[in-house]
Amino acid sequence: MNQSEALFAEAQKVMPGGVNSPVRAFQRVGGNPIFFKKGKGAYLYDEDDREFVDYVGSWGPMILGHAHPQVISSIKAAADNGLSFGAPTAIETELAKKICSIMPSIEMIRMVNSGTEATMSAIRIARGFTGRDKIVKFEGCYHGHSDSLLVKAGSGALTLGEPDSLGVPSSFAEKTLTLEYNNPDQVREVFSQAGDEIAGIIVEPVAGNMSCIPPEKGFLECLREVCDEYGALLIFDEVMTGFRVALGGAQSLYGIQPDLTTLGKVMGGGMPVGAFGGRRDIMHSVAPLGAVYQAGTLSGNPIAMTAGLETLKLIEAPGFFETISENTQSLMASLQSLADSAGIPFTTNQVGGMFGFFFSDTDRMTNFSQVMSSDTGAFVTFFNTMLEQGISLAPSPFESGFVSAAHGQTEFSKTEAAAKSAFEALQQGV
């Protein structure tokens, strides 16, 4: 038994599934999850001292690579001054100003501790501000695990949503309509029937939780139009895409201004951070200015704010996103040509430093049902063959991959060599 196996056995005695977030348990890919003890740049090191090129990046935050020296030294210095005061600090305002300047649609912002908290609060604001209860979301998008958002589609677009977890009251789920991603006609239809009951639309402007699915031309534009027409709020959940697909997030890339934006992941530089923000008049409805209640004992934590601010300062460097985007694109091109040579049906998506790959003969993956019909068995073989060769991909075909600024030619060459043998394994039906 190796160290990870021994540690997993112990973990399972005291934590459900041995983990603190389900996907970490490796259930979709079989085998034992790997316990890591250290990260540096593009690499992770496990408890058995094996080295992995990491494309998970803690599910997105680590855009600078692991343990970036400037981020680490800044949080060490901040820690010397104490970990938490539960009172205002200068660093919160500094980070808030930085984010408002990078994302002009955010005129005011509030810091929270996770993406889940950010989206949950944004939904409450949309409801409080509009005086309406219904929310529209899209199949395959993930917005954290709050009750209103753990909802799947009913039998038809216009039927009531159903809980996507035990413990979510159906009376909550009924308020959430789940539509098909990249299907503007369906959005128009739903609004034409129930537009005056809808508080807002929440969407991942590039979907990153059904692997990576970019918006088709006209989709985000349609969302903006119907929200304007019916007085609903457009919420871009940029927890994953903010500071990842471009410095200014998907909203800068596609030129659409949401009313509210939720953030997390990169903005905390690896610390537990989230935020929501947007139009000043809407944010005025948040307590203590307004009557929409929201609070947090550790919100705006000085260590977390420091890690976030330091990260944003580093990724603002000219050319940062051009490089990460080109690197990610060329990695996907290499994987595609290796798959083509091996005769494996395969397709990829990429936006900025975010990617998805699919074992499918569909040319363009645009929605959840296409992703669901891809060959997940082939994914499992590919994943495990890559892992054996020291390449760590997300342990699920429904997650995005991430390239960091620390990934360079050495790491891409290792990845390509491993992928060549993984595609060959698939070709031979291993």
Ligand X SMILES: *Cc1c(COP(=O)(O)O)cnc(C)c1O
Near ligand X by CB under 6 A: residue from 4, 121, 209, 294: 209
Is 142 a binding residue for ligand X by CB under 6 A? The answer is: yes
Q: Which residue is nearest to ligand X (CB)?
A: 115
Considering only 43-51, 114-122, 211-219, 373-381, which stretch makes contact with ligand X by CB under 6 A?
A: 114-122
Name beta bridge partners: 149.
none
Cα 261 off chain centre by: 13
Is 237 a binding residue for ligand X by CB under 6 A? The answer is: yes
If you compute the radius of gyration of the chain from its CA atoms, what whole number of angstroms results? 21
Cα separation, 327 vs 412, in Å, equals 9
Q: How far is the CB of 21 from ligand X (least distance, A)?
A: 7
Near ligand X by CB under 6 A: residue from 61, 195, 208, 214: 208
What stretches of 64-179 show up as alpha helix (H) in DSSP? Answer: 69-80, 90-102, 115-130, 170-173
Of the candidates 66, 5, 21, 39, the one whose C-alpha atom is nearest the C-alpha of residue 396 is 21
3-state secondary structure of 313: helix
Near ligand X by CB under 6 A: residue from 105, 116, 261, 370: 116
Near ligand X by CB under 6 A: residue from 109, 173, 240, 351: 240
Q: How far is the CB of 392 from ligand X (least distance, A)?
A: 18
| Residue 237 among the catalytic residues | yes
Instruction: List, in order, residues 6 or more apart from 158 with CB less than 8 Å away.
Output: 177, 189, 190, 193, 194
The contact mask relative to ligand X for 248-267 (x = CB under 6 A, - = no) is ----------------x---
Tokens of 205: 């402007």
Cα separation, 111 vs 95, in Å, equals 9
In this complex, which beta carbon is closest to ligand X, that of residue 271 or of residue 324?
271
Is 114 a binding residue for ligand X by CB under 6 A? The answer is: yes
Q: How far is the CB of 298 from ligand X (least distance, A)?
A: 14
Q: How far is the CB of 240 from ligand X (least distance, A)?
A: 3
Q: Which of 43, 55, 142, 181 is catalytic?
A: 142
User: Look-up: residue for tokens 């955010």?
Assistant: 106
Strand stretches in 180-324, DSSP E: 198-203, 233-237, 260-263, 274-278
Residue ranges that bind ligand X, judged by CB under 6 A: 114-116, 119, 142-144, 204, 208-209, 237, 239-240, 264, 274
Task: Indicate which residues carry an active-site annotation.
Answer: 142, 237, 265
